[in-house]
Amino acid sequence: MKQPVFFLSHGGGPWPWLDGPFRENFAWLEASLKALLAQLPEPPRAVLAVSGHWEEPEFTVSSAAQPGMVYDYFGFPEHTYSIRYAAPGDPALAGRVRELAAAAGIAMGDDPARGFDHGTFSMMQPIRPEADLPVVSLSMKQGYDPAAHFALGQALAPLRDEGVVIMGSGLTYHNLRVFNARAAEPSRQFDAWLRHALLDLPPEDRAAQLMRWEAAPAARLVHPREDHLIPLMVALGAAGADPATCIYSQADLFGGITVSSWRFGEDVSATGFDRLAA
């Protein structure tokens, strides 16, 4: 059966390994991630994670059988620099990703040393704490061309029929210089624009709208650097004409920031983690 595609918020830093107020900001996100595998039509073979924390001169896929860790954050407690998400990789899946990309004329590099960055392990820890589901990482391409990432998603769509769940990992608001109540209105405006594009427009129009994301309200304040938005373009390409459902939203992250996560797939039902739904 065809697996759905996701664009997910991965939260902040190594939050699943923390306690206290910082962790509490992500309680609603955590609940939505814990519920994710139950939405699948059958148990997945593997996850292909497109992280907003990995970019290369060309698209690159991780091919390690046992990926290590990339501690790509700073200022967190000492113990978070020795945590481990011990999921296996899947070299065969990495080879299939390269094969599909090549068939579409898309250059794809291979990195046998790449480990899990926090865009992947902080997302996967609540989803599959047993860490027994193979995870392969896929980079963004420098320059962040939305159309190039959308085309890659289209090329990788056959994986959905092969038991692979494609997950774009980022954040619908990502401006670390304005990560407080001052972000309330711009994040709300951008999220409302995104919600309209994904829920109200036909597939061809929603894709065209997302290719022009810089025209959205407050776009460059919300995403001064679009690394956390571009994984959505891969997910959107892989989704084809499948409908979208908001599977997580909140308007009070860190004092008022609006963020959301999305699922693309047929026969989608509400999951109860969209606080903004009518």
Query: What is the structure's pLDDT at 2?
Result: 95
| Chain centroid, CA 31 distance in Å | 16
**275 within domain boundaries:** no
Q: Which stretches of the chain drop beneath a pLDDT of 70?
A: 267-272, 275-278
Is residue 273, in this structure, part of any structural domain at all?
no
**SS3 at position 180:** coil
- The predicted pLDDT at position 259 comes to 96
User: Is 24 a member of any domain?
Assistant: yes
Instruction: Give the chain's domain count.
Output: 1
At 278 the pLDDT is 47
Range 203-237 burial, b when 16+ CB lie within 10 A, else e:
beebbebbbebeebebbebbbeebbbbbbbbbbbb
Establish if 272 belongs to a structural domain: no
Residues paired with 257 in a beta bridge: 253
In a domain, 271, yes or no: no
- Would you say residue 245 lies in a domain? yes
Domain-located, residue 274: no
Q: How far apart are the first and last CA of the chain?
A: 31
**Which amino acid appears at position 187 of this protein?**
S
The pLDDT value recorded for residue 36 is: 95
Residue 20, domain CATH: 3.40.830.10
38-62 residue pLDDT tens? 999 999 999 999 999 999 999 999 9
pLDDT in tens, 80-100: 999 999 999 999 999 999 999
**Beta-carbon contacts of residue 258 (< 8 Å; ≥ 6 apart):** 172, 173, 184, 187, 188, 190, 191, 249, 250, 251, 276
Supply the pTM of this predicted model: 0.95
Handedness of CA 224, 121, 127, 255 (dihedral sign): negative
User: Is position 11 within any domain?
Assistant: yes
- Exposure of 71 by Cβ count < 10 A (0-12 exposed, 13-18 middle, 19+ buried)? middle
CB atoms within 10 A of CB 181: 12
**CA 101 to each of CA 108, 137, 147: distance values in angstroms, whole numbers, following the listed order:** 6, 15, 15
Give residue 209's domain range.
5-264
Instruction: Write the burial class of residue 69 (CB in 10 Å: 0-12 exposed, 13-18 middle, 19+ buried).
Output: middle
Q: What secondary structure does DSSP assign to 18-81, as a single string?
A: --SHHHHTTHHHHHHHHTSGGGSSS--SEEEEEEEEEEESS-EEE--SS--B-----SS-GGGG
